[in-house]
Structure formats: C-alpha cells, structure tokens
Structure 1
Amino acid sequence: MALAMLKNPTVPQHGWQALVRAIEQLATANDLADVIAIVRSTARDISGADGICFVLRDGECCHYVEELAIGPLWKGKRFPLTACISGWCMLNDQSAVIPDIYLDPRIPHDAYRPTFVKSLVMVPVKTTKPIAAIGTYWAETREFSDDELALIEALGRSTSAAIAAAQLRQSLVESEHRLAMALDAGGLGAWELNLGTCELIATPAAKIMFGADPDAPFGRDDLLAGIHPDDREAAAWLFETGLSRDEEYRSADGSRRLELRGRMVTDGDGTPVRVTGVVRDVTERHQAKERLESLRSELVRVARLNDLGAMASALAHELNQPLAAASNYLHAAERLMDRDPAQALSAITKAEAQFVRTKDIIQRIRGFVGQGKSERTAEDAELVCREVLELARMTARHDDVAMYLKADTGLPKVQIDKVQIQQVLFNLLRNAVEAMGDSATRRVTISVTAEGDMVKLAVADTGPGLDPDIAAHLFQPFHTTKEGGMGVGLSLCRKIVEAQGGKLWHEPGNPGATFVFTVPVTEQAATS
C-alpha cells in the first residue's frame, strides 16, 4: 500500500505554541511524576498523534509508565530493551522515525498487531545517558515533515532538561531532609548570618533554643536577644568574626546553656560574606557536670571523714594533752590563789594557752571535715602543706614517722580548691606512711617548687618503693594493693588534680616512692 502523505499546516504552528507552554511548565516541575504528567498531555498536542507513551529505562527493561491514546497500548508493562523500539532508542541514543511499522525490522510486529498503531516516532530522553523515551503513534501510515520531527525532538530535549532539574531538586530536598534528620538526632539547630545585610536564616529548632517563635521572622537582633545580657557582647563579636570553637552562653533568662559553633565563609577574594553555624542546648550536660562536681566534693568529704575515723585515737591523744595540762594548771591556780596570787594568775594564763591550743586543733579538724563550697581561690602553697602536715603528724608521731616540708622561697600563689588539694596531700601522706611498713628509716618529705606557670608538690617516702607492674596500674579505678582497700584513692586524687588544671604521676625513688602533682598559679602570678 502506498504511503499517504498527510499534511496539516496547522499542526506545526499549534504545536510550537503547545511546546512553549510545556517548556514553561517543565521548568517548574518538582519531580519525575510532574514531568511525565506534562509530557503526557503535551506530546499529543504538539504532534497531533493518536497516542503517546512515556517509557522509563528500568535496568535492562523498558517500563511503559504512562500513555494517552485512542486505544490501549502497554501501560504498566515491561519489556527487554532489545525487544522494543523504545529500548533501541535508549541503547543507541537515537530517534526512530518509522512511517510503516510493518516494513521496519526493528519493530516486534506481533506486539503491535493488537493495537491501532501503523506508524510512529520515538525519541530518547537523556541526562548524561538515555533514561527514557517518548513515543508518538498514528493509526495510519504516514511520512513526517521536518517541522513535526523538530517539535517531537524538542519536547524530548526539554524533557531531558526538566528531568535533570527535577533530579537536582529532589536530591537537594533529600539532602535537606537528611541534614534535618541529622540536626534533630544531634539536638542541633542551624543558622546562617549574612554579614553584608545582617539577614539571618535559622531553623525552627534554632529559633526555639533562642526563645523565639519557630514560625516568626528571626533576625540577628532576635538571636542576640535570646542570649544573656552579660554574654551578648562576646556572642556578637563571635558572630561577626566566625566561631572557630565551641562556645557556651547562657540563655536570656539564665535558665539554660547554649553551645554555638560555626565558621566564616568567604568569597573568591577571601572577603568574609557570611557566618554559618549550629546551636545546641547543653543545659543537661552542664547540670550533669555540676552534679558530678558536687558528687566528687561529697566523695572527698566522705574520704576525709574516713581518714579522721582512722585517726580517732591519735586525735583523742592530741586533744587530751592540752585539756589535761589546762586542768592541772587550773587546779594549781586554785591551790595558790590564797597564798600566792601571782603564781595562781600565771597558772591560769598557762591553762588559757592550752585551751587555745585545743581550739586550734578543733578548728583545724572542722576545716578538714567541713563540706564547704567547692571553688578555686588564690592560696599560699606552702601554707596549704603546713596545715595538712599538722593533722598528718598526729598519726605519724604514733607510727614513729618523721615528716618534713621543703618549700622554695618566693613561691607564687596557686589557683586551687584548697579543701580538695589538701585531701590529695593527706591521701598521699597516709599512703606514704603505710608504704614504709617496717623500714629502718621512716621519713616523708613534702617538696614545693615553682616551675613556670605551675607549682609542683612532691611527696617522697623512704619505703621499699613500688614494683613496676604495680606502678603501671596505680591510677586505675578499683585497682588496689591494700587488703580491704577499694582502689579509688589514687584514681580520685588524679581526677581532682586534673579537674584543677594539673597532673599527678608516680616517680620511683631511691629509696622509696615519690608521688608528684602540679597545680596552676594564679593568672596574676603567671603574667608577672
């Protein structure tokens, strides 16, 4: 049968208008489903075809996902790429123009016989490589003008660009979704400050952390208003210069702690253009830190009580001596009152001195046991050591242990929690006394020296020293060489020292063992 030449001069003009509308619609398509819907209706308008199909490549198959035709075609079906004309287009990245399907060997004739199709044009749709095809079908055999083919191929190219844009938008949406999930999982809010316009973009979570309505406009001033007045100046400076490390600020009402981290973004010339960052509510972490410090202080206090329990007999002896002496002086004064008032007054004065001595001992014990407020103050390191020695010597004298203090002159003030550092010293002195056992020479020496911005305190004994295997595990929690010991003493001591900016370690002595720790000097002493 001779091919009929069908000419309809209105189709190209109408088709170009329809193509322009389609391109405008494709430019705003959000996803592949939108693209397919637009192509489905547009393909027939621009071609005047009796049917169209949109075919997606699915691995090694062609998936006929959509159609609009005068009769049923293959919607929803899949065929091997090598078994259909759409697959040929995608494999060869070429359009197929077929005036008579029964004269073209590329067409699977048996598949087409039940349909109305007599001629067709199939064009590939690709991004980097063909991923789809658009088929236009006619119920008659026919030739196709250059304008008709140009329209169909232009739709294919427009569809390719639309799919690429939709994939990019979808990828961006997915990335934003993953970022939102990551921010939510980490309890983070994100923000970005434009340094030129001072415009600020923030996620709803970030707005909430700064005490703002998540749906309300949010600017730089709103962000700063969410920070405590005493912290705003520092925060404003960091927002403008870029956050290079974690910084904590109080919320406006002081009830919460906010941690901010960000970085500066520059343009091609290196000029700062914006600061991007994240914010996290670290109130619970801050409270946990405070609770930990409170528990540590309580543990130190309990440890001091335990130490005093072990010192009970020594303390009784220390208190008994001045009290007994005072009692004797008072009895003597009573006897001398009538015959020698001057001697009686002297005895009363001596009794008073013994009471003062008793008071000093009791005050020293109260200071050692008292819970007090855990805070760092400027202290005289030598005086701190002397006060601890006064208590430690009460027990040491009963164990025939001599205790000495060697301190450099002109030592700088140290910035410490005095009570906690005294507990460390007392623990080290007690350990030294216990370690010497039956040693012929029983002597403990505290040395205090200045080293740069630190003061070093060393407690050395004349015992047998420590086995290297034991020394390697000294500071591990619950590791002990003492019968009935819990193994928390040295571990706790190290944590106390490190919490105050110092270090604690062991050095082998000759003879004996030496435990050394450092504490920081005050800022004023460090800069002078």
Structure 2
Amino acid sequence: MTHMALSARAQARPAPARADKVLDLIDVARELAIAPDVEGVGHVVKIAARRLLGADGVTFVLREGDLVRYADEDAISPLWKGTAFPASSCVSGWAMDHRETVVIEDVYADARVPHDAYRPTFVKSMLMVPVLTGQPVAAIGAYWAERHAATPRESALLEAIAGFAAAALERAKLERELRSAVALRDELLGLAAHELRTPLTVLNLAVNGVTRALAAADVEGARRAGERLQRGTARLARLIEMLLDSTRLAQLEIPLVRERVELGGLVARVVASLPSADRARIAAEPGVVGEWDRARLEQIVANLVGNALKFGDGKPVDVSVSSHGGLARLVVADQGAGIAEEERPRLFRRFERGAAARGVGGLGLGLWIVRQNVEAHGGEIHVESRPGAGTRFTVELPLAG
C-alpha cells in the first residue's frame, strides 16, 4: 500500500474498530518496511498515528544532539514543523531521555511542557512515545484539541508504531552507511588507480633506461636509471602503505605500542629523510620526552612536514618542538598559498584535498591519518591559515600515556 493509499484510507472512513486497527498496524509495518529514508518514515508515521488514534495532530520528532527537531506533522492547524528546541525543555526530549511514554491530560498543568510554545496552538492534551534504536533517536507525539487522557490501548498503539519506526530508521541508517561505504570504495579505487599509474610509469621508464644502458655498457646511465627505479619503488611503497594504514585505522586494527620517545630527535631524523629536507628549519626544545607510539609519531611528522614542503611554494618550512603544561607541542608552518576558510573544516576528512593539492599527486589521506594518530594518543591538532599567508599546523600530545 502506498503513502497515498494509506492517506486515502485515513480520509475515507471514521476511526476503525479493533480488528481494523490490527489490519492498519500491519499496513503501517509494511509501509515502514519500504520507506526509503527518514523523511519517508516520518510521512508514514504522521498519517498512520493520527488515523489510528483519532488524534487532532501528530508530530514526528528527531533527536539531533542536544536538540529535538520537529521534522514532520499532520494536524488540524500548524504546530512546530521545522522548529528545533533544546531537548531538556521539551516533552519529546524527556520521553527520549527517560525512554518512557508520557501521557499528559492537561498540558498547562505539567512542568515538563514548555507552555509558551503551546499557547499559540490548539493542543490541550498529548501522548508522547520515544522511538528507540538502542539509543533514543526520535519520538512521536499525538495531540488533542479537547481534554483527553490517552488510554493504555492508545499508548500501546502508538508504541507499536514507534517500534516499527525504530526498525525502519535503523534499516535506513544501515542502507545509508552501505551506500556511503560503496561510494568510498569506488573513490578509493579510482584514486589508487590514478596515483599508482604515475610511479609505475616511472618504473617502466627506468627499467627501459637500465636495459638500454646495459646494452650500451653505459655505467653512469645505468646508475641514474637505477636511482629512478629506487625513487619510483619508494613512492609506490609509500602509497601502498598509506592505503593500508587508512584501512587499518578506519577498522581500529592498530593498537598503540607506547615507548619513551624523544620528540626533537625523532623529528630531525624523519625530516632528514624527506625530499627537499634542506628547506626545513627545525627548532627543537631538548628533552621533550613522552610515552608515544614511535611509528605513529613518525607518520604524523612525515605527513605534516611532507605536505608543507610540497605546498610551501619552495620557501622555507619551520618546524618547532616544545613542551608546556604536560603537553608536547609540534608546530609545522609553511609560507605557501594558504587554505581558504571554507576548506579548513574538510581538511582532515578521508580523501579530501584542498584546492592547492588538486594539481599535485596524492590520495587525500595524509591529514586524515595524522588526525587519527593524534587522537589515538589523546591529543589534538589545529590548523591556522590565510590565503597568501601560509599554513600552520599545531599538534599537542600528552607527555604521559
């Protein structure tokens, strides 16, 4: 039965008898089983609940952090559709937080009701039921224009609809996550194919160069081709390792292996191994020692400094190490083009690349891996940047594990 059919039934006859209500509940379960998304769930719920209860109005309320948003409604006159309220000041929030059905015969005699929000409406009495999917994610409210104490049977009917809605919302969430995972997989495959093509081309050219040099007994030519082979192989290995790291981190498969690490020395060694390392200026406070995972720390430094050298317009990159108040601080600052304000919130997302990076090779995983590693240590990372004025990343890590 379609939404329109359910609505037509609601308009075609008066409140049904008990047997018909059971049939209508079956219809509701079927409709919610095929609702494509949250909006579809709300549409079915508002029509079905009002029909089954004979109420003057029904709202479908979604939990959004500390707020509740009245996402949809079907009523004799407007209620609060599209409006968000603090969960702590609404009956819907109370029902979700306490995981309880609420029956209120007189809305103006109950302290949980925000009276000012109700005065412009027709509502005199209400019934509110939470929608539970492990955690309270929504609520369904039914309202009457005349004083009405919802009966146990009415409560049971609305609770049944809430149960069907909970299953539908959970299914919609899983389908949304599946679509996201498939899209992420496709994006990863596309990026990987594109990025792996370049080092493979370099390797192929280098192999051809070695072959020609050996045939011509050109030792110097063979040496240069061998160096290109090494660089191409190293880049290929880095790309593969980054892909593997992103997968392991996303699946929480890499535990921290903590040991005593002197941060300044580690930074110096990692930076020295990077291309264009001569442009990096290091100022390290001696004796900054913490309990960290050495390999993860090396990733943090390599990715941050490597990015700064890559996007720093060939200018010096400043790297500093210091400590204060039980925290180690690593700062990496370049003098490049900077990052637009609207791009900054997206910087640490997986596969996200800023405008400056789109003409340069890369998977868009480096900063995501940095953030995962920093947060795994209980630390924080911040970015400051202005277009034309460079970019500064600050990492703060607890010295103690």
TM-score tier (shorter): 0.3 to 0.5
Normalised by the size of structure 2, how large is the TM-score?
0.47
- Whose RCO is larger (CA < 8 A, sep 6+)? 2
Normalised by the size of structure 1, how large is the TM-score?
0.36
